[in-house]
């Protein structure tokens, strides 16, 4: 018999390349800085089950793109998808890809959309802080100051959407986080365990692959 689970696993296997200190990503800056620091200093092969979850997210985004560019949805126009960008801050570079850029025809506004899949919309009451920070930086980097975080339920394709207002102050705070991360990495300084110390981020510890190492480095 065919073992399709194994086939999927082999299909998703990728060579894990160590991250380069000095190149950072908006998708990580809103998470626990200690975990991000560990991921540069102690890279791990991505767990295949986690890789499957990421791939489901990619599949969901592909579906969202099809919806956005459908001729049946004439109130918007999909301008770009998977839009790459890179910003050079001298000592380090921040790069990434914005999910989608659409034009709302009614008011002529260009809007960035960050797509996130979820296993249950029931618990999605607002845009997650890390997702909001990610989109906030995209708005800063692209100059498009209208943004939406779109959550799509993987079980039934129901969705919720949250507007994120552009903030110069928040953008500066995010840039400072990148500067802090670079300083910690360049100077071999371990950051504080943000997820442990922030009640809203405690859940991150449960799924962190560096949990045991973090426990041994109490601060």
What are the residues facing 165 on neighbouring strands? 146
Give me the DSSP letters along 170-189.
HHHHHHHHHHHHHHHHHTT-
- Backbone dihedral angles phi then psi of residue 146, each to the nearest 5 degrees: -130, 125
Task: Please answer whether residues 133 and 173 qualify as being in contact, where contact means their C-beta atoms are separated by less than 8 angstroms.
Answer: no
Domains of the chain by range and CATH? 46-187 (3.90.320.10)
d(CA 44, CA 210): 9
What are the residues facing 84 on neighbouring strands? 97
Distance of CA 206 to the CA centre of its chain: 18
pLDDT at res. 138:
96
Task: Please answer whether residues 152 and 64 qualify as being in contact, where contact means their C-beta atoms are separated by less than 8 angstroms.
Answer: yes
Task: Please answer whether residues 75 and 105 qualify as being in contact, where contact means their C-beta atoms are separated by less than 8 angstroms.
Answer: yes
pTM greater than 0.85: yes
Residues 6+ apart with CB under 8 A from 34: 190, 191, 192, 193, 194, 195, 210, 214
What are the residues facing 204 on neighbouring strands? none
Task: Please answer whether residues 92 and 175 qualify as being in contact, where contact means their C-beta atoms are separated by less than 8 angstroms.
Answer: no
Structure tokens at 50: 């986690």
User: Residue-wise pLDDT tens for the chain (219 aa)?
Assistant: 888 988 998 888 876 678 999 999 999 999 999 999 999 999 887 788 888 888 999 999 999 999 999 999 999 999 999 999 999 999 999 999 999 999 999 899 999 999 999 999 998 999 999 999 999 999 999 999 999 999 999 999 999 999 999 999 999 999 999 999 999 999 999 999 988 888 778 888 888 889 989 888 765
Phi-psi sector, 22: left (phi>0), alpha (psi -120 to 50), beta? left
- Backbone dihedral angles phi then psi of residue 19, each to the nearest 5 degrees: -70, 150
d(CA 159, CA 154): 9
């Amino acid at each position: 018999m065919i073992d399709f689970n194994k086939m999927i696993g082999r299909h998703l296997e990728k060579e894990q390349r160590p991250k380069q200190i000095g190149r950072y990503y908006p998708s990580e800056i809103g998470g626990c800085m200690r975990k991000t620091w560990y991921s540069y200093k102690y890279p791990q092969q991505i767990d295949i089950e986690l890789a499957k979850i990421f791939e489901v997210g990619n599949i969901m985004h592909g579906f969202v793109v099809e919806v956005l560019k459908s001729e049946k949805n004439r109130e918007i126009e999909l301008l770009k998808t998977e839009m790459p960008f890179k910003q050079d801050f001298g000592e380090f570079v921040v790069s990434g890809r914005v999910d989608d850029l659409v034009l709302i025809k009614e008011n002529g506004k260009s809007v960035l959309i960050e797509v996130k899949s979820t296993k249950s919309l029931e618990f999605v009451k607002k845009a997650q802080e890390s997702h909001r920070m990610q989109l906030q930086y995209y708005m800063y980097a692209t100059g498009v100051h209208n943004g939406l975080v779109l959550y799509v339920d993987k079980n039934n394709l129901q969705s919720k959407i949250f507007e994120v207002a552009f903030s110069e102050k928040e953008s500066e705070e995010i840039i400072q986080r990148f500067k802090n991360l670079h300083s910690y990495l360049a100077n071999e300084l371990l950051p504080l365990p943000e997820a442990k110390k922030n009640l809203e981020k405690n859940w991150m510890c449960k799924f962190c692959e560096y949990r045991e190492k973090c426990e041994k480095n109490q601060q």
